[in-house]
Amino acid sequence: MRLLIPLIFSLLMSVPTQAQNRANGQNTRASFAAAVDTVAPAVVNIFTTKRAKRRANNPLLDDPFFAQFFNQGRVPVRQRIERSLGSGVIVTEDGFAVTNNHVVKDATDIQIVFADGQERQAKIVNTDPKLDLAILKIEQNQGEKFPFATFADSDSLAVGDVALAIGNPFGMGQSVSMGIVSALDRGSVNLTQYSNFIQTDAAINPGNSGGALVDSTGAVIGINTAIFTKTGTTAGIGFAVPANIVQAVMRSILTTGRVSRPWLGAVGQDVTAQLATQLGLNAPQGVLLNEVLPNGPAALSGLEVGDVILTLDGRNVKDTRSLNQRIVSTPAMLGQQVPLNIWREGAQRTINIRFAAMPERRKSDQFKLSGHHPLAGATVEKLSPALNLELNLPLETQGIVIIEESRTQRRGFGLDLRRGDLLLEINGTTITSLREVQESLVSRRKGWRISYKRGNRTYKVIVG
C-alpha cells in the first residue's frame, strides 16, 4: 500500500483541475457521455417468464424397478414459474432486437423495458443456440419508430480500444461500465462452437447478457455474452460476440427465416512453427487441410488435402478458429464466389470458392429408443457432415451415435454410454442404420453384447 500512495498522488497532481482548464480557456473534460447518449436509448432491459417442470423428489423413482409401479415411470410433475433478466439491443427502427439465446430460452413471456421506463411485449423471431444469439420483434404501434443502434466493423478492432458495456446488471436498471478490448479472437472459452469472442475488462455482471459492447463513438462492436468468474460476479474477464457475426446471423434470420451458415466442406489443422518450416512458409499461419469432403464446396473449387489456406476474401487466416469465424461472418458469403489465397507445393495461388449452405441435421435421422433394454431412453442419430462437425468426427464418418444418453437405464443396466459414442455392434448385428438399432433391441434378453467406439478406443461390454 505504501508504494501505491505516491503513485496515486503523482497521477492526481499531473491531471489538470477543472479550474485550471477554465483558466486556460478549456471548459471541457474527458467524457464518453456523447457515445452513451447515442446508444443508450436502443439498449433495453429484458424480463422473461418460463414454466419449469420438476418431478417429485424421490430417489426411488430413479430406479427402473420402482419406477415401473408409478404409471410405467410417468410420475406427477410440479410446475414452477421462473423469472430471469437480461439485456438486449434494438438494431432496426421497426423494433427488431438482438440478445442472447440463454436470456430468452424457453420463455413463455418476454417483456421489454426501455431506458425511459416504457414497457412492451416481444416475441422470438428465431434463435441461434450455437452462437448464443436470438432475434426478437418488439410489439410496435402503427407508424412508430424505435431508437436503434448501429454496428461497427468488429474486424477493425484493436487490443487497447475503449469498450463500454451497457446493460441491466442484477436488474438494477441501465448501467454503463468502461474498459478496453483486452484480447481478440478468444476461441478457447468453451462457450460456442463457432465464435471467436472479444474479451473485455469492462464490468459485465448477471443481467448484462445480451447487452451492447460499444466503442468510443457509441457503435456496437459486440453483444455481451459471458464472463469468466469463480464467484458469479465480474472478475474483469468478459466475452462478447463480435458485431460482424451478429449481423450475419441477423441477416440470415430476417431474410430466410432461419440461420443458414456457409461451410467449407473440409477440415484442417493449425500451421505450427514446425509445419511452417516443413512446408516452406515464412511464418506459422494458416490452416493445413487434412480432409476434403467429396462434392463439398472445397472439393468443387479444387482445394486438395495438403493445401494451406492463407487468406479468405483478402483477410488473413491465422488458424482454424479464425477461418471458421471468417466463413460465418463474411457478408453475402452464401452462393458467392470468394477468393482464397492458398499455399500449394511451395507456391501461392488463388482459388475461387463458392460456399454452399451447411447441411442441416434432420429430425428424421433421430430416434428415441424405448423398451426394456440397456439403451432404453437414449436418443440415437444417423451421422451427417453437420453432426460430425459438432462431434469433431471425420467428415466422412458414417453410422449411428448416441446424442442423448439415458441416465435411468444407465443405472439399471450399468451401461455408461455417452453423447458421441458410435454404436458398432449389438448382439452380433453390425450397426449402420437406425433400423438395425431398433431391430437388434426388439427381443428381451438376459444378456446384451454391445460394442461401441469412444474417441479412438473401442469398447466391448456384456450387460444384463
- Per-residue cell: 124: 422470438
Is position 209 annotated as part of the catalytic site? yes
3-state secondary structure labels for all residues of 116-175: CCCEEEEEEEEEECCCCEEEEEECCCCCCCCCCCCECCHHHCCCCCEEEEEECHHHCCCE
CA distance 167 to 97: 14
In 232-324, which ranges are E strands? Answer: 238-242, 262-263, 266-270, 287-292, 308-312, 315-316
User: Active-site residue among 84, 102, 307, 319?
Assistant: 102
45 and 104 Cβ atoms separated by less than 8 Å: no
User: Active-site residue among 84, 87, 128, 132?
Assistant: 132
194 and 131 Cβ atoms separated by less than 8 Å: yes
User: Active-site residue among 87, 209, 329, 440?
Assistant: 209
Instruction: Kindly give the pairing relationship between strand 457-463 and strand 429-430.
Output: unpaired
203 and 195 Cβ atoms separated by less than 8 Å: no
Is position 84 annotated as part of the catalytic site? no
CA distance 52 to 107: 10
Is position 177 annotated as part of the catalytic site? no
Please give the distance of CA 363 from its chain centroid, rounded to a whole number: 21
211 and 171 Cβ atoms separated by less than 8 Å: no
CA distance 268 to 271: 9
CA distance 337 to 354: 4
- List residues bridging with 238 in a β-sheet: 200, 227
Burial environment of residue 205 by CB neighbours within 10 A (0 to 12, 13 to 18, 19 or more): buried
- Residue 10: what residue type? S
Instruction: Residue 221: name the closest of 192, 250, 241 by CA.
Output: 241
Any idea which residues carry the catalytic annotation? 102, 132, 209
